[in-house]
Every structure is written in C-alpha cells, then in structure tokens.
Amino acid sequence: MQPFGQVPAYQEGDLTLFESRAITDHIAQKFASKGTPLTTGEPEMKVWLQVEVNHFEPASSQLGWEQVFKPMFGMTTDPAAVEANEAKLSKVLDVYETRLSKSKYLGGDQFTLVDLHHLPNIQVLNGTPTKKLFDSRPKLSAWIADVTARPAWSKVLAMQKQ
Ligand SMILES: N[C@@H](CCC(=O)N[C@@H](CS)C(=O)NCC(=O)O)C(=O)O
C-alpha cells in the first residue's frame, strides 16, 4: 500500500493513498460538510501548508528523533544535532510568532489542516527540553495551548494510550 514501506497508508474502496498530508486533505475535502471545516482552499493556507512541510517538520522531527525516539530504541542522543536543529527551529518559530500576532491560526483566522499537521511533533517536543523554544514565545504558546486543547486531539491522545 505504501511504496516506501512506511505508515500511514489509507484505503477507501478502490482508492489507496499515502503521504499523510495528502490523506488529510482528501478526508477534509470529502467530509467538508461534517464537523469543523479543515481546509479553506485559500492561497494563504496553501502557503502555510508548505511552511509546515519545508520548515517546521524537518527540524522538529529531527529533534523528536534525537531526544525521544533514539533513547526509546536504546540509541544515544547527539547533543550537536539537538543544538543545530534547535537553532533551525528557533528561526522557524520566530516567523510563527510574527504570523500569530497577525492571524489567530497559522493558515488564517480559522483552525485548519495547517495547524493540525503541527500537532504530532509539538506533542513529542512538549516532553523534551526543546519545549523552552515554545514557552519563550507568547503568541506561539497561546496557539499551542489552543490547538492542543481541542477535543479531537484529546481523543487522539486517548487512543494512543489504548
Ligand atoms: N512523508 C511521509 C512520512 C512517513 C513516515 O516518515 N513514516 C514513518 C513513521 S511516522 C515510518 O513509517 N517510518 C518507518 C520507516 O521509514 O521504515 C508522510 O507524511 O506520510
């Protein structure tokens, strides 16, 4: 189902999808009339979807790998990699701090897939010293408190514990 042997993959009748962001986009469009609309289709939202993939994800996933997943697999965290990626992530978060002083959410004034795609890495990093990069930015901290308090995210976290 997933040509690179990774998760996630998604099957719906004859339709098979991979790449998490393509899957969420499909689900958001298909069920647009149910629950919270998660996509606006606005050019601005598309820009910020790309910001997450190209700027937030690389640094944040490396920080999660070094500080959470490597220890989980009995491997040793590389402090130099943590320092380098915290420097990269800081620059991204400075851009976010400015963005969030102008709009309530990253993709615009409503919660969208842009915000949603940040949740897994934020959750991972909230349990690491990298959280200091979030806590030191007031707009970003308020946005994190808002998006992580959403009932749907609480359900995801509860499912992870099952
Ligand atoms: N760009 C892909 C990344 C998928 C990915 O990295 N999956 C990880 C888990 S989060 C995986 O399956 N890793 C195991 C492997 O690569 O063998 C997506 O967003 O779906």
pLDDT of residue 40: 92
Mean pLDDT of the region 129-139: 98
Q: State which of 2, 4, 7, 117 you would mutate to test the pocket of ligand 1, scoring each by most atoms of that ligand within 8 A of its C-beta.
A: 7
pLDDT of residue 41: 87
Atom of ligand 1 nearest to the CA of 23: 20
CATH 1.20.1050.10 corresponds to the domain 43-161: yes
Closest by CA position to 87, among listed 63, 115, 120:
63
Ligand 1 center–CA 103 separation, angstroms: 31
Q: What percent of the chain has pLDDT over 70?
A: 100
pTM given for the model:
0.96
Q: Which residues of the chain are in CATH 1.20.1050.10 domains? A: 43-161
Q: Rounded to an integer, what is the distance from CA 17 to the centroid of its chain?
A: 19
Find the residues whose C-beta lies inside 6 A of ligand 1: 5-8, 19-21
Residues 59 and 92: beta-carbon distance below 8 Å: yes
Tens-place pLDDT, residues 28-61: 999 999 989 999 989 999 999 999 999 999 999 9
Residue where the block lists tokens 């598309």: 46
Ligand 1 center–CA 54 separation, angstroms: 15
